[in-house]
Structures are given as C-alpha cells and as structure tokens.
Amino acid sequence: MKPLVSIIMGSTSDLPVMEKACKWLNDNQIPFEVNALSAHRTPDAVEAFAKGAKERGVKVIIAAAGMAAALPGVIAASTPLPVIGVPIKGMLDGLDAMLSIIQMPPGIPVATVGVNAAQNAAILAAEMIALADEDVAAKVEAWKAGLGAKIEKANQDLAAIKDYAYKTN
C-alpha cells in the first residue's frame, strides 16, 4: 500500500502533536507515512525526501516544525505536491513558527493550519485528496456527518438541563 499522505516533522519531539494527524488518518483508513528530518540538520535528506514524494505515491505532505519552522517551506520549494504546514508551539507559543510558515515567498505556497492543529492538517490533506478520490471523499463526508451528530446530541443534552431558574430552553 502506498502512502497518500506524508507526515514529516523536524524532530521526534514534535511527535506528541503530530500523533493527532496520524490517528485521524489511521482511523479513517487513509495510508500515510511518518518521517523526522530537519531542514537545518539534514537539508540534503529533506530535499531528497521532497523530490521523491510524488514517485512514492504521496498526494499531500504535512510538514510540522517549531521555532524558525523552515521545514514546510524547504519541502514546498522541492516538490510539486501541496504542502500543509503545522506550526508547533514553543517558547513564543507557536507564533514564531506560524509566522515563519505563513510568510512564504511568491511561488512557494504552504497551506497553514493553526498552532499544534495536526488533526486539521490531516483533514485538510484528506479533503485535497478527495478532489480526485471518491473513496477518500466518502470517508471525509462520513466523518463530518459524525461531527454534526455529536453537536446535535450535545445541544439536546444542554436543553435537558433544568437546574437554572431563568434558563428558557
């Protein structure tokens, strides 16, 4: 089975955040791979990774990094595939990483999700793949339908609370 999504992080210290992306993709049976390579410490390996991703069957790359967060941009410069950047929270609450990822030069786009928003990155990757893959589209649609059901139940539970004298619903 070839990976449709490639998750790459600057180091394994980012894994506790990126596990949310792994879990979402796994739960929705979307094949993925996970790697740790550094734009600063292993630049040649990062370039080789990015250049070989399409050949491996990858459709979207999720790249996570903190601090200077060069990894998503370096990958985007070396591949025709879409890259989603996940800023990792650090000493400046992830603001440094987020600004590094969203402020890319012209011609090197990186889609960016919120700080530590690995699950949203996985969902966005699946939505991109769903444009050309009906099986993945059905999985995304089913997952989103489940979200609606959870909110509807929560709303019913709130309506059932009778502990407040001035609550009107």
**Residues tagged in the binding site annotation:** 11, 14, 41
- Please give the Cα distance from 121 to 110 (Å, whole number): 12
- Residue 27, phi then psi, degrees to nearest 5: -60, -30
Using an 8 Å Cβ cutoff, are 85 and 72 in contact?
A: yes
- Cα distance from N-terminal residue to C-terminal residue, the chain: 51
Kindly state the tokens that stand for 138. Answer: 């059905």
DSSP state of 54: T
| Annotated binding residues for substrate | 11, 14, 41
Using an 8 Å Cβ cutoff, are 111 and 82 in contact?
A: yes
Exposure of 120 in the CB half-sphere (CA atoms within 13 A): 10
